[in-house]
Amino acid sequence: MLNRIYAIVKKEFRQIRRDPRTLLLIFIFPVFLLVLFGYALNFDVKNIKVAVYDEDKSKDSRDFINMLSSSDNFDIVAYLKNKNEINTYLDEKLAQCVIVFPADMSERIYSGDKVKIQFLVDGVDGNTATIIMNYMNAATGFYSQRISQVYFAKFGTNAFIPINMQPAFWYNPDLNTTKFLIPGLLSMILILTAVILTCLSIVKEKEHGSMEQIKVSPVGSLELIIGKTIPYTIVALMIAAFTLLLSNLVFGVQIKGSFAGLFFSTLIFLIAALSIGIFISTIANSQQVAFQIASLATLLPTFMLSGFIFPIESMPLALQILTNITPAKFYIVILRNIMIKGTGIETYWTQMLALIAFGVIFLGIATLRTKMAKAE
């Protein structure tokens, strides 16, 4: 049995080596996706374009503007001369936010009255608008606190803040979106590579007629599947290591948890993904059909339903149940626990069991279908 499996593995490695274009694509594809998602798909909002309409023209309004411009989050792009320019700057996207200081701002501050500063935000992109508003609220709160301290000091009284919020962000203190996306990106790269390469390899045997020779050979169905799986498992593990190394060099993403846990969970995920590829190869008779089915079965579910970008908890209940169709959902949870949180297996053992179940079910179905095809 071992000799027969070894012969199939050796044959697969020879075929991989004879196709340098595939090898080149295998290692260029992760680089392309990593750069694309790492830089283009980013939820961090910086360099917000801010226009100012200052009716007060006082030291206080200038201090507020200087405080904003000293931050990397804001760029003061224009000082408007009249209210008519506000619509122009927002309509033509010359500014994402316009700040309107009232004419009596300074006077009301020092008379102890409340001041209302107007923030007009471009709300076309709801996510960006919410982040801009949060930034502005934080900046306004900080400036208001500073004014309160000056005001109370003027009367010889210390400022009293009943509740002082001190937020602390665990695991990702910089709130870096890239660190959140890299685990999902790695899972998408691996499942695409593993499923597509495996199913195309087996379907190619059908197209070239060599599958008929395998059917009459002593090679069993399980031996054939194992022999086809091992080479692409090794290739996928190399891709995973290459992607992790690249993400560390380019984006500074580090693995905080166990390398052994990362290796074994990746191995189990790859077996689950390869089993899906083998199953697809049993129902497709051409490489074109196999590629289309593999792409449809991996790309959309991984991108939309795995929690890669969209939180599963925010989806309707029916979609939350549907997310269980992709093993990437469970692997992403494992990766985020290991890479970002640095936790142990006690936080993701249920996900490991789900991946094992995926592999057992699809390998079992694929083995039965292969036996049936061989019997025919």
Those residues whose C-beta lies under 8 Å from the C-beta of residue 148, and which sit 6 or more positions away, are 159
What pLDDT does residue 9 have? 80
Q: Please tell me the distance from the alpha carbon of residue 93 to that of residue 21, in angstroms, as a whole number.
A: 44
228 within 8 A of 201, measured Cβ to Cβ: yes
- Strands (E) in 222-354, as ranges, are none
Q: Please tell me the distance from the alpha carbon of residue 84 to that of residue 77, in angstroms, as a whole number.
A: 17
Tokens 């077996």 appear where?
271
Q: Please tell me the distance from the alpha carbon of residue 76 to that of residue 241, in angstroms, as a whole number.
A: 43
User: 347 exposed, middle or buried (CB, 10 Å; 0-12, 13-18, 19+)?
Assistant: middle
User: pLDDT tens across 222-280, in order?
Assistant: 777 777 788 888 888 888 898 889 888 888 888 888 999 999 999 999 989 988 888 88
**What is the CATH architecture assignment of 48-154?**
3-Layer(aba) Sandwich (3.40)
Q: Please tell me the distance from the alpha carbon of residue 365 to that of residue 361, in angstroms, as a whole number.
A: 6
What pLDDT does residue 336 have? 92
117 within 8 A of 128, measured Cβ to Cβ: no
254 within 8 A of 340, measured Cβ to Cβ: no
Q: What are phi and psi of 104, to 5 degrees?
A: -105, 25
**Residue numbers of the chain with a pLDDT score lower than 70:** 21-22, 25, 42-44, 150-167, 208-217, 219-221, 370-376
The structural domains of the chain, with segments of one domain joined by +, span 2-41+176-375, 48-154
What pLDDT does residue 97 have? 92
Tokens 């790309």 appear where?
299
Quote the Cα angle for 202-288-190, to 5°: 65
What sections of 252-286 are H helices per DSSP?
259-283
Those residues whose C-beta lies under 8 Å from the C-beta of residue 252, and which sit 6 or more positions away, are none
Number of H helices, E strands in the chain: 14, 4
- Strands (E) in 19-174, as ranges, are 48-54, 74-79, 97-101, 118-121
Q: What are phi and psi of 100, to 5 degrees?
A: -115, 115
Identity of residue 293: I
What pLDDT does residue 39 have? 74
DSSP state of 106: H
